[in-house]
Structure 1
Amino acid sequence: MSATANPLSAKLTKLLSSSLDDQKLRTSLTALSEFYTVNAVNARHNLRGDIERRGTEVNYLLLQELEKVNNQFLELEAEMNAMNLLCQEMQDRLDTASDKTITLLGQADALREQSNLCEVRQTILEAFLERFTLSESEITILCSTAMDVTPAFFEALEHLEEIHADCNALLITEHQRAGLEIMESMRTYRNISYEKLFRWMQTECRAMSRPDGMIEVRQVTKKAMQALKQDDQFFRSILEELVHVRRNVILRAFIDALTRGGPGGTPRPIELHAHDPLRYIGDMLAWIHQTAASEREFLESLLDNERRNRGRGQAEVKVTKASSLRLVESEETDAEVVASLMDKNLEGTARPLKSRVEQVLVSQANAITAFKISNLIRFYTSTIEKALGTEASLSKTLREISDSSMQVFYEAIGKQSADLLRRPEYPAQDLGPTFAVKEAVSQLKEIMKSFDTSFVQADEGNKDFEPILNSVVDPLFQMCEISAAQQSVFNRAVYMMNCLHYVQSALVYPFTKHKTQDLERQIQEYIDVIVEEQHTALLKQSGIAYLIQALETKDEVTPLSTLPNMDATSVSGVLSNIDHFLGSVHLDLTSRLSKIVSSRLAKTVSSKNVKMFVSAYRQLCEAIEHPLNKYEFPATILVRTADEVEMLLVED
């Protein structure tokens, strides 16, 4: 029998091919283990019956449970039917009620529409009244003289301006009459409000009487000034009132500072230092400068100019709300107003300052002090002009007294120069700078030092100092030329060069660069004169002066040897003494140039003399060696060649 026909074999094959990981198999075995607990023959024979019996019991239990569910569904069905009956009854009642109330609903809808329309109209009316009318409290705040100006006043005023501006929109609609009526009423309120604000601000201005300028400006005062800008007439009147108060206060404070000093005598009165011109004038100018700075800070705070400075770079006209208050003046406009106010407020100090400075200048004869005073005034003039502008009265006064101080300085210098020219001091034996020159240079050093520390100089080659330098130096050199007129050419040149060098050595500042160059050019001119004189003397000392003169004056055709005293024997006799000259020439040069103060200049003169002598001797040697001049055996005539002479002179 084949394996496929054998049932046992088939079962074994199926059993062996089953996988123990099969979930169904494992579940079946688990269920089997619950009642198949004994592996006996009887139990194995009854296994099928037991399984079928257990299946029947399970199905019976399932039927019992399903019967319970069915009974519950039947109960639910009965309840649903009862509910459907009730709902149908209610629907019938609602249909009856709807038919009866349809007219009432239509009336209710109509009333609802009318109510909504009334609400819209009420909203529009309230918005119109809020936008185009002032409240009773706002009218009271703006118009009542019994109420003070507070931030609420400016809120109401801004609302008024908004209404006035918004009325322009009404004029281009069909509501022109309403717009005109509202504008007229707002104009009335506006006039009353600005009149009240103007009167209040007048009182505030009269209270700004502290002399130090450091007045704490309240925010409400700043807003008042900004608001008054909208009315040019009121704004100008307030500025005039402010100028009247502040000018008198500052003038009184200046006079007190001069005569009485500060509170309790500290600081002391400025006029106590009238004996010291620099300190006296400096204290007055410093007080005015400090007051100008304090006044600017006060005015900028009053006009709220700091806020505009922070807004630099933004549009000059800014829009905040739909009112005329939205116009904000540009920074330039505010700066001009501040500068104008400062000019008028400080104007009163100009006259007492000018009279006192002029009194000091009239009694001032010292040129150095006059120059220091002028520098001091120029510094404060430049500083105050930056704060007030060049056209301010105080700025003009400062320029006038600055010019007066410079005039006093030039007059003092002119008087000194006239004294020098009237009584010139003659050169000493050593031809060095005289006492008058040294004294003038010492004074010039003081003037240059003062100018260097005056904070008013410009760049290098400063043109401001050039006329001052010329007024001191030029008369000095004129005196030197007059005093040296009786000297020899050589001594006059040495003396003038020494004086020029002495003055030049003092010009060590950048702003004297041009004059230093001019003096250097003049020194070179006198060096040329000295070198020329020395050259003539050296030629005579060496004995070749006649030979050089003959060489330079003869024509090009005539031989040099045919001229009188220019034959070979005569020339040889002259040149035979050249070694003696070369041995003593440096000693002679040192002796003659010892009166030159500067060793650098003396060395320059000596070097040029050597070069000129060597050049002349070389020219003579070349002429003797030239066949045209018909000297036989020129080598026997020339004791020293030009190169040898140059080497000996340079080595020495």
Structure 2
Amino acid sequence: MNSNANPLSAKLTKLLSSSLDDPKLRTSLTALSDFYTVNAVNSRHNLRGDIERRGTEVNYEFLRELEKVNLQFLELEEEMSSMNSLCQEMQDRLNFANDKTITLLEQTDALREQSNLCAVRQTILEAFLDRFTLSESEITILCSTAMDVTPAFFDALEHLEKIHADCNALLITEHQRAGLEIMDSMRTYRSISYDKLHRWMQTECRTMSRPDGMMEVREVTKKAIQALKQDDQFFRAILEELVHVRRNAIFRAFNEALTQGGPGGTPRPIEIHAHDPLRYIGDMLAWLHQTVASEREFLESLLNSSERRSRDRGQAEIKLPKASPLRLVESEQSDADIINALLDKNLEGTSRPLRSRVEQVLVSQANAITAFKISNLIKFYSSTIERAIGPEAALSKTLHELSEASMQVFFDAVGKQSADLLRRPESPGPDLGPPPAMKETVSQLKEIMKSFDTSFVQVDEGNQDFAPILSAVIDPVFQMCEIGATQRNAFDRAIYMMNCLHYVQSALVYPFTKHKVEVLEKQVQEYVDTVVDELHIVLLKQSGISTLIHAMETKEEQTPLSKVPQMDAAAVSSVLTRLDRFLGTVDLDLASWLSKIVSSRLAKEISRQNVKMFVDAYRRLCVAIEDPKNQYENPSSILVRSADDVQMVLVVD
């Protein structure tokens, strides 16, 4: 039977092909399990009816619930209708009230606008008064002599200055009259307040008389100085007062350091070391150097200088004529310029006692080395202090003049020594070595160079500064040596001067003597050339070929060398047969002649040059003998040794 014709078979096939993983099927089975509890035949037959009955019950229940909702909506509709009626009634009342009060509302709006306008005007007036007027308390702080200068004073003064500056804005508006009136009143208050500040600062300056310059400056004092900068007249007056106090204090402290020493005698008075010129002058200069540093720190603190870390020295300086009050070149100056000017005036009083004491030491000083050390010491402190206070300061000029004076004392002492040497020149000794006077002078020069090397002078400056010193010390000694050696022959005189130059040259080991070493090296080379030339003549004579060389160099060009008298083959051969004996002793002869040269390097150089010159001369002679123009029949029989043989024997590089 065909399975498609059997409904049961088709249904079973459909059921069997259904997937149990279908979510809808699983949900249906879960819902069915809620009311289908008994798996009986009768239950399965009535399954469709049960499901339909249950669906009907659910629909009835849903209708009952909707009926409740409908009743609630009806109640809500009634309440909304009631509220709508109330709202309409209230709207009607509001419209009625609005019609009755519209005039009142218009009056209220007008009054509100007038109130707002008054409030704006009041705000503007208060701002104007705050900006362009001083309060009663500020006027009292600024003008009352009974009130001290406090930070509140500077707050009020700053407000006054701001008002004064803001009045310029009023002068370019239609409120010019108000601006002028306010400016006049502020000018009056300003004059009174600056006069009060000036008088207070004068009193404050009188308390700054401690000599060490390290007083702690109060913040209120710094502010007073900054405020007075706004008025050139008051600022100049205060600086003049400050200079008067500080100059007297430093001058007094310097005299006390010289004659009394520190508190309780420590440190001891500087003048107790007057017997030691270097320490005496060094202590005075060290005191001044320390005072310059401490005074600068004090002034920078007083002026509250922002240039303590980066000093601007490019602006115009403050000119402080010695006999005139402090004057500012421009209305606005950098703090660095002001400080430099104040340092100059404050330290000015130390110049005279320093000068008198240093000059007393120099007058009694005859030792060149001590004079040079003093000059070096003064020059070092002069350059150091000059960088701190400027080259135009009175103390800087004094130190510069003392440095030149001490250097002049040095040159005078050296000149006296040089004159003594030239009056009694020493003759060369048997060894042709440097004379005792030169050794003593070089010993003195070494001490001078050592002092100069430790003086912190830059190398570039040293080359320039030390050159005249070097020349002043050693040039007269060389001149003395030349005068003393005039009676010697050229050979001995050249060796003597070479030894003297080398002795001095070997002592010049500092960078600042480099130029002089080069000059001496050229002079040494000139004497080396002289020794070489003189010794070359001797070697040619001892070897016997000097006559041959002379004949070769002086004959007429057209004349064959063999035709020159005593230059025939036999005569030449006779001379050259003695060459071997000369070559065997030439090394010893050279060592003997050059034994008095102090420098082994120079001796070797002279020996090498002489050997080379001799070989070159002999080579020229060989070439001339072998030249057919000179008509020697058998040159090889004449030349006992070739030039290469002679060079090999003498070992020439």
The TM-score with structure 2 as length reference comes to 0.90
Amino acid of the residue matched to residue 429 of structure 1?
P
Distance in 2 between residues matched to 1:353 and 1:219, nearest whole Å: 35
Contact 1:461 / 1:514 at 8 angstroms: preserved in 2? Answer: no
Q: Which residue of 1 aligns with 2:319?
A: none
- The CA deviation at 1:305 is 1.5
- With 520-529 and 74-83 compared, the bigger mean Cα shift is at 74-83
Q: Which residue of 2 aligns with 1:230?
A: 230
1:461–1:38 distance in 2 versus 1, CA, 3 Å: closer
Match runs of 1:31-50 below 5 Å: 31-44=31-44, 47=47, 50=50
Q: Matched residue of 2:463: which SS?
A: coil
Q: Which residue of 2 aligns with 1:324?
A: none
Match runs of 1:14-93 below 5 Å: 20=20, 26-44=26-44, 47=47, 50-51=50-51, 53-55=53-55, 57-93=57-93
Distance in 1 between residues matched to 2:575 and 2:94, nearest whole Å: 164
1:366–1:536 distance in 2 versus 1, CA, 3 Å: same
- The CA deviation at 1:582 is 2.3
Q: Matched residue of 2:271: which SS?
A: helix
- The CA deviation at 1:296 is 1.2
- With 556-565 and 122-131 compared, the bigger mean Cα shift is at 556-565
Distance in 2 between residues matched to 1:597 and 1:86, nearest whole Å: 139
- With 256-265 and 40-49 compared, the bigger mean Cα shift is at 40-49
Q: Which residue of 2 aligns with 1:531?
A: 532
Provide structure 2 residue ranges, at least 5 long, that are not aligned to the other structure: 313-329
Q: Which residue of 1 aligns with 2:507?
A: 506
Q: Which residue of 2 aligns with 1:345?
A: 346
Q: Which residue of 2 aligns with 1:283?
A: 283
**Is 1:367 the counterpart of 2:388 in the alignment?**
no
Q: Which residue of 2 aligns with 1:425?
A: 426
- The CA deviation at 1:213 is 1.2
Distance in 2 between residues matched to 1:12 and 1:462, nearest whole Å: 126
- The CA deviation at 1:235 is 0.9
1:586–1:51 distance in 2 versus 1, CA, 3 Å: closer
Cα deviation digits, residues 14-68 of structure 1 (max 9, x gap): 7667665555555554454444433445545555555555455445544444444
1:368–1:2 distance in 2 versus 1, CA, 3 Å: same
- The CA deviation at 1:343 is 0.8
Match runs of 1:221-620 below 5 Å: 221-306=221-306, 309=309, 333-459=334-460, 462-620=463-621
Distance in 1 between residues matched to 2:529 and 2:58, nearest whole Å: 148
Distance in 1 between residues matched to 2:547 and 2:53, nearest whole Å: 172
1:15–1:600 distance in 2 versus 1, CA, 3 Å: closer
Match runs of 1:610-649 below 5 Å: 610-649=611-650
Contact 2:311 / 2:336 at 8 angstroms: preserved in 1? Answer: no
- With 86-95 and 515-524 compared, the bigger mean Cα shift is at 86-95
1:502–1:29 distance in 2 versus 1, CA, 3 Å: closer
Amino acid of the residue matched to residue 552 of structure 1?
E
Distance in 1 between residues matched to 2:360 and 2:311, nearest whole Å: 47
Q: Which residue of 2 aligns with 1:211?
A: 211
Q: Matched residue of 2:357: which SS?
A: helix
Distance in 1 between residues matched to 2:64 and 2:638, nearest whole Å: 169
Cα deviation digits, residues 274-325 of structure 1 (max 9, x gap): 111111111111111111111111111221212685799xxxxxxxxxxxxx
Aligned length: 636
Question: Alignment RMSD, CA only?
Answer: 2.8
- The CA deviation at 1:71 is 3.8
1:96–1:423 distance in 2 versus 1, CA, 3 Å: same
Provide structure 1 residue ranges, at least 5 long, that are not aligned to the other structure: 313-328
Contact 2:270 / 2:284 at 8 angstroms: preserved in 1? Answer: yes
- With 627-636 and 506-515 compared, the bigger mean Cα shift is at 627-636
Q: Which residue of 2 aligns with 1:139?
A: 139
Distance in 1 between residues matched to 2:279 and 2:53, nearest whole Å: 136
Q: Which residue of 1 aligns with 2:118?
A: 118
Contact 2:608 / 2:652 at 8 angstroms: preserved in 1? Answer: no
Amino acid of the residue matched to residue 295 of structure 2?
E
- The CA deviation at 1:146 is 1.3
- The CA deviation at 1:537 is 2.2
Q: Which residue of 1 aligns with 2:326?
A: none
**Is 1:162 the counterpart of 2:162 in the alignment?**
yes
1:532–1:60 distance in 2 versus 1, CA, 3 Å: closer
1:359–1:22 distance in 2 versus 1, CA, 3 Å: same
1:93–1:482 distance in 2 versus 1, CA, 3 Å: same
Contact 1:285 / 1:380 at 8 angstroms: preserved in 2? Answer: yes
Distance in 1 between residues matched to 2:486 and 2:442, nearest whole Å: 22
Distance in 2 between residues matched to 1:460 and 1:194, nearest whole Å: 51
Distance in 2 between residues matched to 1:572 and 1:3, nearest whole Å: 156
Distance in 2 between residues matched to 1:539 and 1:56, nearest whole Å: 157
Q: Matched residue of 1:462: which SS?
A: helix
- The CA deviation at 1:600 is 1.5
Distance in 1 between residues matched to 2:95 and 2:554, nearest whole Å: 156
Distance in 1 between residues matched to 2:441 and 2:519, nearest whole Å: 19
Distance in 2 between residues matched to 1:384 and 1:510, nearest whole Å: 26
- The CA deviation at 1:370 is 1.0
Distance in 2 between residues matched to 1:47 and 1:570, nearest whole Å: 167
Distance in 1 between residues matched to 2:615 and 2:23, nearest whole Å: 134
Distance in 2 between residues matched to 1:421 and 1:307, nearest whole Å: 58
1:307–1:366 distance in 2 versus 1, CA, 3 Å: closer
- With 411-420 and 590-599 compared, the bigger mean Cα shift is at 590-599
- With 139-148 and 555-564 compared, the bigger mean Cα shift is at 555-564
1:186–1:545 distance in 2 versus 1, CA, 3 Å: same
Amino acid of the residue matched to residue 383 of structure 1?
T
Q: Which residue of 2 aligns with 1:175?
A: 175
1:373–1:37 distance in 2 versus 1, CA, 3 Å: same
Q: Which residue of 2 aligns with 1:326?
A: none
Amino acid of the residue matched to residue 587 of structure 2?
H
- The CA deviation at 1:111 is 1.5
1:43–1:252 distance in 2 versus 1, CA, 3 Å: same
Q: Which residue of 2 aligns with 1:150?
A: 150
Distance in 1 between residues matched to 2:373 and 2:311, nearest whole Å: 42
- The CA deviation at 1:629 is 3.8
Distance in 1 between residues matched to 2:176 and 2:246, nearest whole Å: 48
Distance in 2 between residues matched to 1:291 and 1:460, nearest whole Å: 27
1:535–1:460 distance in 2 versus 1, CA, 3 Å: farther
- The CA deviation at 1:330 is 12
- The CA deviation at 1:178 is 0.6
Contact 1:251 / 1:346 at 8 angstroms: preserved in 2? Answer: yes
Q: Matched residue of 1:464: which SS?
A: helix
1:87–1:536 distance in 2 versus 1, CA, 3 Å: closer
Amino acid of the residue matched to residue 180 of structure 2?
L
Cα deviation digits, residues 448-467 of structure 1 (max 9, x gap): 11111111133398121111
1:569–1:460 distance in 2 versus 1, CA, 3 Å: farther
The TM-score with structure 1 as length reference comes to 0.90
Q: Which residue of 2 aligns with 1:317?
A: none
Amino acid of the residue matched to residue 118 of structure 1?
C
- With 187-196 and 148-157 compared, the bigger mean Cα shift is at 148-157
Q: Which residue of 1 aligns with 2:109?
A: 109
Contact 1:273 / 1:279 at 8 angstroms: preserved in 2? Answer: yes
Identity %: 78
**Is 1:100 the counterpart of 2:100 in the alignment?**
yes
Distance in 1 between residues matched to 2:56 and 2:637, nearest whole Å: 169
1:439–1:92 distance in 2 versus 1, CA, 3 Å: same
Contact 2:300 / 2:339 at 8 angstroms: preserved in 1? Answer: yes
